[in-house]
Structure 1
Amino acid sequence: MTRRSPLLTALALGLAIAFGAAAPSSARDTPATPTYEVPESGVIGIRDEYLAPGFWVARMTQPDGVLMDRAAITAQNARLQQLDPSMHDVRAIPSTLDRATVRGWIEDLSERPTSERFDVDGAPVPEAALDAMVDNLALDAIPASQPTRHGLVVHRAALRTFPTAQRMFSRAGETDIDRLQESALFPGTPVVVAHESRDGDWLFVVSPRYAAWIEKRYVAIGSAAEVFGYVDQAPYRVITGGTEDTVITREEPRVSQLQLDMGLRVPLADAPPDQAVNGQHPYTAHILRLPVRNDDGSLGFSSALLPRRLDSASDYLPLTPANLVRQGFKFLGERYGWGHSYDARDCSGFVSEIYRSMGVQLPRNTSAQAVSPALHHVTFDKDDDRATRMAAVAELQVGDLVYIPGHVMMVIGHVDGAPYVIHDTNGGSYLGADGELQGMSLNGVSVTPLLPMMFNDHETYVDRMTSIVRPHGGLGGLATTPTGVETTTMKARP
């Protein structure tokens, strides 16, 4: 039997008081070695009913209990901006950029690959191609000083390590994990434009969560007042579906069938409700105000229609256990997209967008999310044994984020005391009855039990767990202070 530390016992009591029964009481009795069936699908521990959000919501005793109100979320977001080094306060960037600052941003990201890279056909990428890629950074063309330029992203667009669309992979035959793909930006995202590639097709931009290269055609340049005025504009709609598209229109192709992803906050246009928008009466839609790029690269705005039948809301959703699960399931089955490729998302993008639909901001990458000084977390290292880790697993609640090296999962509930997670994964394996590793090739947003998932042929995900983050509230000894959240590592001892 696992003996809980006094710290974990206090943690469990404190969370029960603070959040009620967001997870069933059986969560505190996680069996050490649960038995899981393997259905015909080959995905261990899964029954058809587990693939519907209603199954998990029905198991909650307080599904609609608010875990953090709007004021608490706003305060946490402010701490994130202030304390987390992975975040960028684009409003606070000086009005003039010097060469050292810009060069530092670029060189922090754009390092020439030191190991062999392969193209989509499996052929080695020649050194000449890498030379050209590095040369296109145009580091020698960075001026000693330049006025800070602001812009808005006008279309979902990839963020790249280098100013190139060429895809590169670590192994021949690999076609999913593009090592030059960093992330994506979405319509309406404010950026600071710091540099232009030598070929003139790419911009190096600093966005609130990432600094990288984006195609120039997806950024419209405007004044700081125009850019941040748009960001702050109300009223607005929040996209609550996985992805929703604006109405197709030939009259204004720049906003036709524009993909809007979960959690985006899009202002409403000040437009007459009885007059056509791009050739269509707007009474069945919300009239959005979207940024567009004019022919000269300057910022403009255009109205677009978002049908009322699509999934959006007049404000961020309440942060509740039920909403966390329902929002996660809206991506179920979407293909895994490393760095937001395939117009989809990866594991950290997945959990970010779930929480963003409730107004909670997270850093972009797992490495930053897992240790963010603005978020409540428990961390683990190689000295923490299985009993220590299982004691922490026993206290998992709906919405908790569980991190292993390079991956994150969100807890959705428990079955027979054992935790289940939803996650966007490009792999997935478990040990079969014969002790051999069984691959599941999930490669998408999936529901799985946590405990049998294998990191390699002898370590489970729990064995390699690095952190548990609770974006929606405190974890034991971590407490909010006037300057932020205490970040002392909290150990869970057996």
Structure 2
Amino acid sequence: MKLLPFLLLISFVFSLERETIRKQALELIPQMADLRNFPIHVEGRKIKDWILEDAYPEGKLYLRDVPLDNKLLEELIKNANVGELAKDVYVAYGVTLRRTDLKLLPTEAVVHKGNPEIDYNQYSSLDPFVPLIVMHHSKDKEWLFVQSSFMRGWVRKKDVRLISREEFLRLFDIPFLVVLRPELKVGDLIYSMGAMIPYVGDEKESYLVLTPEGKIHRVKKDGLSEGYLAFSEERAKELLESLIGYPYQWGGYYDCSALVKAIFGVFGVELPRNSYQQALMGDGIEVNFKNYEEFKQLLKRLPPYRTLLYMKGHIMIFGGFEGEDVVIYHAVYSITKDNGQRIFPKTVVRNLLEKDALKNLYRRILAVRVLK
């Protein structure tokens, strides 16, 4: 058995691009944070603003199967407990104990517009061992308001292990493995693609990994990388192909933006969590094509697997060409074909725009971004 020193193992390849995108994200996306340099105390009024900065969409909403009226909404907000915030809040530190969810307001209840598969209270799933800054607790003491590296929100208190600031900071200097599969089990824990797992040593066929509870677990090497991979189109394609057919899950693994975040996370590029924010990353390409052929000609000049195509509420990865047909990869709940037929893949798919009668998607493209 070979024990590794507690040093961060990061490939030099692609490091400048990672840092450039990280800085861009921190500058443009206020919900993202540099956790290592997060302040040790925050004004209570700022935390209050963060808690109340987002809201459910307009229109008729349901809480489970009951109409969400103002009284019910006030109860949800009341549980956020903003009246109990101190003038100056000293933050705490923690890690997720298992896969859990990050919520807009502190409730497990689904908030929807008639389709409970689309939960407007769901921000994102979080993998085990995700570092968190803890800033507040709910009135019922069952939820914590936290900052992850890419988003703020509420998580179940039972899913968080509190640790000291010293332990928290050491997490950023421990060697880590990166998950290369759509899903990887480590004992009772489930990790998604791009998740980071701290490890302390390796054997011939296994790694010795740390669990969020501080124990050591042996896991087979298959499906794991020691640190981030260097980017290549071939590797990106391989990862995307491995996800095809994986179920779509709104706010989880995988919806459209979770797919994009996972793929680039393998290469050490941390993107924001929602599609609109992801469409601000990288270099913008002018969207001035007047028809599908002009759209194709534009894509022929752009690098596959590093070009993102954004339309309202949805983001896709350009996967090059198959012959003369445009290839896109995306996690999609529903989509409208050229003949007006709406279909419901509810999965990660690889589409050929002409073969699959999706040429008119070009009309809805609002942004084309290239990650370098």
Q: Secondary structure at the match of 2:128?
A: coil
Identity %: 21
> Does the Cα contact within 8 Å between 1:96 and 1:147 map onto a contact in 2?
yes
In structure 2, the residue matched to 1:428 is 335
Say whether 1:206 aligns with 2:168: no
Q: Which residue of 344, 348, 353 corresponds with 1:441?
A: 344
Alignment of 1:273-292 (within 5 A): 285-292=206-213
Higher strand share: 2
In structure 2, the residue matched to 1:266 is 197
Cα 1:369–1:101 shift into 2, 3 Å: same
In structure 2, the residue matched to 1:43 is none
User: How far apart, CA to CA, are the structure 2 residues paired with 1:398 and 1:389?
Assistant: 14
Alignment of 1:106-117 (within 5 A): 106-109=51-54, 111=55, 114-117=58-61
What CA deviation, in whole Å up to 9, does each residue of 1:159-217 have, x standing for no partner? 1110000001113xx12111111112222222211111000011111111001111111
In structure 2, the residue matched to 1:385 is 290
Deviation at 1:377, TM superposition (A): 2.2
Deviation at 1:410, TM superposition (A): 1.2
Deviation at 1:408, TM superposition (A): 1.1
How many positions carry a matched residue from both structures? Answer: 358
Deviation at 1:427, TM superposition (A): 0.8
> Does the Cα contact within 8 Å between 1:453 and 1:460 map onto a contact in 2?
no
Cα 1:81–1:124 shift into 2, 3 Å: closer
What CA deviation, in whole Å up to 9, does each residue of 1:211-269 have, x standing for no partner? 111111111222222112113202x321111110013xxxxxxxxx2001111221213
What CA deviation, in whole Å up to 9, does each residue of 1:409-455 have, x standing for no partner? 11223122221111100012313xxxx42233111101112357789
Q: Give the partner amino acid of 2:200.
A: A
> Does the Cα contact within 8 Å between 2:29 and 2:272 map onto a contact in 1?
no
Once structures 1 and 2 are overlaid, which stretch shifts more, 355-364 or 410-419?
410-419
User: How far apart, CA to CA, are the structure 1 residues paired with 2:138 and 2:357?
Assistant: 43
User: How far apart, CA to CA, are the structure 1 residues paired with 2:231 and 2:56?
Assistant: 42
In structure 2, the residue matched to 1:332 is 244
User: How far apart, CA to CA, are the structure 2 residues paired with 1:307 and 1:228?
Assistant: 27
Say whether 1:224 aligns with 2:129: no
Cα 1:120–1:102 shift into 2, 3 Å: closer
User: How far apart, CA to CA, are the structure 1 residues paired with 2:295 and 2:310?
Assistant: 12
In structure 2, the residue matched to 1:4 is none
Once structures 1 and 2 are overlaid, which stretch shifts more, 318-327 or 126-135?
126-135
In structure 2, the residue matched to 1:182 is 123
Task: Point out where structure 2 has 5 or more consecutive residues left out of the alignment.
Answer: 1-11
User: How far apart, CA to CA, are the structure 2 residues paired with 1:264 and 1:323?
Assistant: 17
User: How far apart, CA to CA, are the structure 1 residues paired with 2:280 and 2:294?
Assistant: 19
Rg: which structure is higher?
1
User: How far apart, CA to CA, are the structure 2 residues paired with 1:398 and 1:112?
Assistant: 35
User: How far apart, CA to CA, are the structure 2 residues paired with 1:350 and 1:200?
Assistant: 33
Deviation at 1:390, TM superposition (A): 4.3
Q: Secondary structure at the match of 2:212?
A: strand
Deviation at 1:270, TM superposition (A): 5.6
> Does the Cα contact within 8 Å between 1:99 and 1:144 map onto a contact in 2?
yes
In structure 1, the residue matched to 2:44 is 99
> Does the Cα contact within 8 Å between 1:429 and 1:453 map onto a contact in 2?
no
Cα 1:451–1:464 shift into 2, 3 Å: farther
> Does the Cα contact within 8 Å between 2:180 and 2:194 map onto a contact in 1?
yes
Cα 1:384–1:448 shift into 2, 3 Å: closer
Give the TM-score of the pair, scaled to structure 2: 0.89
Say whether 1:316 aligns with 2:228: yes
Q: Give the partner amino acid of 2:104.
A: T
Deviation at 1:316, TM superposition (A): 1.7
Give the TM-score of the pair, scaled to structure 1: 0.68
Q: Give the partner amino acid of 1:430.
A: K
Say whether 1:136 aligns with 2:84: no
In structure 2, the residue matched to 1:215 is 156
In structure 1, the residue matched to 2:33 is 88
Q: Which residue of 344, 366, 369 corresponds with 1:466?
A: 366
Cα root mean square deviation, aligned: 2.4
Task: Point out where structure 1 has 5 or more consecutive residues left out of the alignment.
Answer: 1-67, 248-256, 274-282, 293-300, 474-494
Cα 1:81–1:232 shift into 2, 3 Å: farther
In structure 2, the residue matched to 1:52 is none
Q: Which residue of 251, 259, 283 corresponds with 1:350?
A: 259
User: How far apart, CA to CA, are the structure 1 residues paired with 2:173 and 2:286?
Assistant: 36
User: How far apart, CA to CA, are the structure 2 residues paired with 1:454 and 1:211?
Assistant: 39
Deviation at 1:154, TM superposition (A): 1.9
In structure 2, the residue matched to 1:489 is none
Cα 1:406–1:454 shift into 2, 3 Å: farther
User: How far apart, CA to CA, are the structure 2 residues paired with 1:323 and 1:183?
Assistant: 25
Q: Secondary structure at the match of 1:362?
A: coil
User: How far apart, CA to CA, are the structure 1 residues paired with 2:355 and 2:280?
Assistant: 25
